Chain A
Amino acid sequence: MNAQTLYDKLWNSHLVRTEADGTSLIYIDRHLVHEVTSPQAFEGMRMANRKPWRVGSILAVPDHNVPTKNLAAGITDPISRLQVETLDANCAELGITEFKMGDIRQGVVHVMGPEQGATLPGMTVVCGDSHTSTHGAFGALAHGIGTSEVEHVMATQCLVAKKSKTMLVKVDGKLGHGVTSKDIALEVIGMIGTAGGTGYAIEFGGDTIRGLSMEGRMTLCNMAIEAGARAGMVAADEVTFEYIKGRPFAPQASQWDAAVTYWRTLHSDDGAKFDTTITLDAAKIKPQVTWGTSPEMVLPVDGIVPDPANITDAVKRSDTERALQYMGLKANTPITEIKIDKVFIGSCTNGRIEDMRAAAAVAKGGKVAASVMLAMVVPGSGLVKAQAEKEGLDKIFIAAGFEWRDPGCSMCLAMNDDRLSSGERCASTSNRNFEGRQGQGGRTHLVSPAMAAAAAIAGHFVDVSKQ
């Protein structure tokens, strides 16, 4: 048999049927659901008098609208509240497992799934959320889907898809001090652009990736969508199995060995062909900071903001001009001279325990700069929050002047009350720096948790690799 990529293996093992033009039905093992992209799907099912094909494959959690303080008071915005209540009602009606607000297991859907062991190697995972690519970190094929597809998967347990092209992003070498998987992700996006991965499934490989924790791998796969790739993935290995073992949805003891035996096959074979391969030297990657309004507008922390006058391509030049204007930045400004107003540490990209630890290590003993109006830390789930508190990280943050909040998507997309005001500048560990993403007129700079914490203390960006 020909050498196969991990993607080939995952695709082939879920292929129900293929039409002459390549349009295929792919069987879905795990369907994660949140409150924002599901109500219209449930309504559609109801109107067509359809029932979910396999209720046990679905796991639901509210996250986008959830407040991150005064949780006990509930959601004050009646429209937000109705959306969460609608999820509760739909799950109750159909018998879908849901971790409601107030449940310690509640959190950002892409933090909660892996944490529960609900994401396993060899699975197909979907969710009505583009950052579903996160789950590929387990050697799974994970796609973000739209609401019509949410309804389709609920009703048929399948997704209509065509096979993607494959890209290998191979990273070898040792990451420098203070450089994280977030920086690898931003470096890759800077190289290939936000459309560089469109039409591809990206596999991240190489010894640097093998050396990453599951949290690090999730951050990387999470950002695959920001490079345009609907799926990102990392081969399953001992790190993966160790992470999964003993989690609530993990295989039972009697099935564990059989599962691991199968999971060990979930890697690209030697000699497997990728449509595109990109190689990076980990040692050369510096901490990254985005300066513009697209994740590809990114520079190493020792860089300077680009000058449109030096850009020959007319569309690129006008995009750069517009981005600088929106961001309130002057050409040729050193990144380290950019002062910030707010800091957000959290999200499905960087809201896991390792991220909390990395930020706390930098914050320890420091004080948030007087010029920084708000520095908030939002753990990705109730369980992350509890673990961080067990380790005393909350005390470190609070002593340094950070706010320690309850779990949710929070200011990554600002659907709840956590948002930037117009003109405010934020160092954020989230995934998108689009115009208005964190609040209308808000200015987002994407960074790693350590970089965000360091910026909070200094009041401007600093190079954590030099600290």
Chain B
Amino acid sequence: MQKFEKFSGLVAPLDRANVDTDAIIPKQFLKSIKRSGFGPYAFDEWRYLDHGEPGMDCSKRPLNKDFVLNQARYQGAQVLLARENFGCGSSREHAPWALDDYGFRVVIAPSFADIFFNNCFKNGMLPIKLAADKVDELFKAVEAKSGFALAVDLVQQTLTTPDGVVYKFEVDEFRKHCLLNGLDDIGLTLQHKADISTFETKHRASQPWLFS
């Protein structure tokens, strides 16, 4: 997994609550057996005017000019700003894969659905929960200023606006450690192989029917 380093990124505002993972990456693209290549189909039904299918050359497809990510001022955005309950619905990890492949490293929202939130960390992405009024401030700030970028510092757990306003955010210690060091969960867990085996032996003895 790539390490999460300090960066400053253009912010794109997606002013909707309950953005679900079906919207982030529609089902027809889930037929792929790969982890990569989902970026061009991120938000497919909102982003294009035609119906998307896997393998299409998206550079030739008609864009929905009304969709925020298609506006010139948000091209190259690395930070996505959204409303409550972002990433709800299906557990598809294709959603963070698509956002990552599109270029987003950070999603900021007042709340996230649990599975999506978890999936982000497994892919070197940082979902940040900020209070709804702070998110609202950011929506206004992004709207007001073209090229609005946020400096994201995971070590300090801060977001800094171009005007120097600093927002502190919370993050699990363990997840922060994994992101900063680009650590693979499986490798870490396997360091506790002996504990797992000990547990399993005991578990098998008490509930043998689980192992038949």
Contacts and interface: CB of A to CB of B under 8 A. Distances in A.
B115 A440 contact: no
Contacts of B207: 122, 259, 262
Interface string A353-393: 00000000000000000000000000000000000000000
A145 interface: yes
A144 interface: yes
A295 B195 CA distance: 41
Interface residues of A, number: 76
A29 interface: yes
Interface in A412-436: 413-415, 432, 434-436
B184 to A, nearest CB: 8
Contacts of A48: 186
Contacts of A228: 85, 88, 113-114
A414 B195 CA distance: 43
Contacts of A21: 172-174
A251 interface: yes
Nearest to B211: A56
B119 A146 contact: yes
Interface string B109-120: 001111100110
Contacts of A29: 210
A315 interface: yes
Interface residues of B, number: 59
Nearest to A123: B210
What is the predominant secondary structure among interface residues of chain A facing chain B? loop
Interface stretch (B6-14, B31-39, B71-79, B157-165): B31-39
A432 B92 CA distance: 14
A147 B93 contact: yes
Contacts of B206: 262
Contacts of B33: 39-40, 43, 82-83, 86
Interface stretch (B98-106, B145-153, B196-204): B196-204
Contacts of B199: 16, 27
A37 B93 contact: yes
Given A123-B210, A160-B185, A194-B85, A440 B45 contact: yes
B26 A436 contact: yes
A432 B211 contact: no
A149 interface: yes
A195 interface: yes
Contacts of A230: 114-115
A276 interface: no
Contact of B27 (A122, A158, A413): A413
B114 A198 contact: yes
A65 interface: yes
A27 B200 contact: yes
A50 interface: yes
A330 interface: no
A182 interface: no
8 contacts: A19-B174, A123-B210, A130-B91, A132-B91, A156-B196, A251-B209, A251-B212, A440-B26
List of 3 A-B pairs having minimum Cβ-Cβ separation, nearest first: A251-B209, A148-B122, A39-B33
